Chain A
Amino acid sequence: MKILVTVKRVPDPNSTIKVKPDGSGIVTEGLKYVINPFDEIAIEEGLRIKERLAGTEVVLASIGEKAAQEQLRTGLAMGADRAVLILADGALDSLAVARILQKVVENEKPDLVLMGKQAIDDDSNQAGQMLAELLGWPQATFASKVELDSGQNRVTVVREVDGGLETVRMPLPAIITADLRLNEPRYASLPGIMKARKKELKEIPLAELGVDANPKLKLLRVDPPPKRQAGRKVSSVQELVHLLHTEAKVI
């Protein structure tokens, strides 16, 4: 079985994001970058399938600047087999990303594509679903449990939806996007990091893929969110209840 896992380089979720004064974007100086946390969960799921099914290959794919090598190496150190980096420096929207990934899928021919449910920078939550539609594949987003059947031609997925858990079944090939509780990603081990240096990391310039990657969504400007004023501290539960009742009038 062949599994493709997508990996996005994003600012560390714990870092402080500041908007540039000219509104052209965010301040990137001094930002630390990591694998998008949901993609890390997708990698882990791929590795767990590989551990159960002998002969499974886990291939990572990323799109972006050369620096994304760093995140791919981390994924290889976790245990993935090899990686592909599509070098692109312009702005891409989710549709462009999905079109590029469609080409990667056509080249790699995986049985399963695992992705994070959303990237924590754009927060769009679109690329997986768009890729599925472009390929004419079924999808299971927000996955919290993935079970391949013994014949490896169908997969049953439990999804985190509003008000409960939904189970869907679909034939392979398919797209699955990972939610928070699918698994807990492993850390790369030292031997893993050593091995990762020798694993294949192929770079392909975007132009070589012949994809229409012009974004239909354009970022005009960014502004800081309206700031909420800190209120006051109260000294007791009684005072809090009194204020909520008489001043805020919410209870």
Chain B
Amino acid sequence: MGDVLVFAEHQRGKFPKTTLVAIHASKEAAAKIGGGCCAALLGAGIDALAHELAEYGLKVYAVDDPALEHYVADAYAAALGQLAKEKGASLVLATATAVGKDLMPRVAVRLGAGMASDVIAIEGPNTYKRPMWAGNAVATVQLEGDIQVVTVRGTAFDAAKKDGKGSIEKATVNIDASARKMQFVEFAETKSDRPVLTEASIVVSGGRGLKSAENFTKVLEPLVDVLGAAMGATRAAVDAGYVPNDLQVGQTGKVVAPELYIAVGISGAIQHLAGMKDSKVIVAINKDEEAPIFQVADYGLVADLFKAVPELTEEIRKLKQA
């Protein structure tokens, strides 16, 4: 068997938690398959990142190329595909982030490999578990062929810890002209002092029950901030234009599994539950006691959110000051 090659995504000079999750999942896969574990680091000016990555006990293949300065799918797929072939990888793995989802199917085609998305468990060589139908079913799937491509769900594996001394090997790739068509123009970051949604230990989400963008700011945000939480929202709230799409939790948004998830004015549509039902403790506040969200909530409060949320914010503030 060949090695597991993990794609080490970095954002603005850092490895997000999702990358550490990919490393952990790759080590687990390597242990089950019986191969080694190495990492692909692509970018421009990545020496510091390569050293940091090696501390996770990995052999790091660092491809430092001006064409890879900004992530674009076509050039990155060409580089990662080539690296995987040259190094004889039998599994190429990334976390299902926006970049992982965008990139890995192209890599699979480059390698003529089958691909499993959003894997939540590695059962053994070739066999994986993944959710389908908005998490209403868990499928056991098998990938055929000598090389496979997988993305893993960011909440389904632990984050790797720095636990060893790895090594760094500089590698070069030839990115052909046909893979240089995409041009990065700009990135407009959603400015926030709050923790990243997929990394926060507490998430407070609002649904259509909030009724307006203004209420997200006035009613929900004070609770979010007193808890030091990340803010999330349902697809319905995003659809209604109350909040930006990158706050969407659900089947078609982000999947989160914090220690505490507080659902405010959320009915509990299947597609929303798909993104949060693995949270450790779930609290639901909704005036409709029949709302499906109560079926997954550990603590349910049937109340008018416009009264309950400011009260809750105040109670927590008192508790924190005590």
Contacts and interface: CB of A to CB of B under 8 A. Distances in A.
Band of interface residues on A: 35 or more
Interface string B220-252: 000000010000000100110000011010011
A238 interface: yes
A237 B301 contact: yes
Contacts of A194: none
Given A139-B74, A162-B99, A244-B281, A126 B113 contact: no
B46 interface: no
Contact of A13 (B181, B271, B297): B271
Interface stretch (A47-55, A78-86, A117-125): A117-125
A165 B187 contact: yes
Given A165-B188, A220-B127, A130 B109 contact: yes
Interface in B183-206: 183-190, 196, 198, 202
Interface string A146-186: 00000000001001111111111111001000011100000
A222 interface: yes
A129 B190 contact: no
B299 interface: yes
A168 B98 contact: no
B260 interface: yes
Given A129-B102, A130-B106, A233-B302, A162 B246 contact: yes
A67 interface: no
A139 B73 contact: yes
B186 A166 contact: yes
Interface stretch (A57-65, A202-210, A211-219): A211-219
B43 to A, nearest CB: 16
A112 interface: no
Chain B facing A: main interface SS? mixed
B132 A248 contact: no
Given A168-B72, A231-B297, A138 B140 contact: no
Contacts of B183: 168-170
A249 to B, nearest CB: 9
B245 A222 contact: no
Contacts of A93: 114
Nearest to A238: B315
A198 interface: no
A240 interface: yes
Contact of B144 (A26, A216, A237, A245): A216
A233 B294 contact: yes
B280 interface: yes
Contacts of B145: 216
Interface in B264-289: 269-271, 277, 280-283, 289
A94 B246 contact: no
A125 B299 contact: no
A11 interface: yes
B295 interface: yes
Given A220-B127, A238-B315, A123 B102 contact: no
A123 B131 contact: yes
A90 interface: no
Nearest to B261: A250
Contact of A133 (B106, B133, B299): B106
A226 to B, nearest CB: 8
Contact of A170 (B132, B182, B271): B182
B24 interface: no
A166 B245 CA distance: 13
A174 B74 CA distance: 11
Contact of A168 (B184, B245, B300): B184
Nearest to A118: B252
A185 to B, nearest CB: 12
B131 A251 contact: no
Given A142-B102, A217-B143, A123 B277 contact: no
B173 interface: no
A137 B149 CA distance: 21
A250 B141 contact: no
Given A95-B109, A133-B109, A232 B301 contact: no
B132 A122 contact: yes
Given A144-B245, A237-B312, A238-B315, A215 B114 contact: yes
B213 interface: no
Interface string B301-322: 1110000100110011001000
Given A132-B106, A221-B140, A251-B227, A125 B101 contact: yes
B90 interface: no
A163 B131 contact: no
B260 A244 contact: yes
A250 B113 contact: no
A190 interface: no
Q: Counting chain B CB atoms within 10 Å of each CB, which of A128, A231, A243 scores highest?
A: A231
> Which are the 3 A-B pairs with shortest beta-carbon distances?
A216-B114, A231-B298, A129-B105
Given A117-B252, A221-B139, 14 more contacts: A11-B133, A26-B137, A120-B133, A126-B108, A142-B102, A167-B188, A181-B239, A218-B142, A224-B137, A228-B295, A231-B297, A237-B315, A244-B260, A251-B227
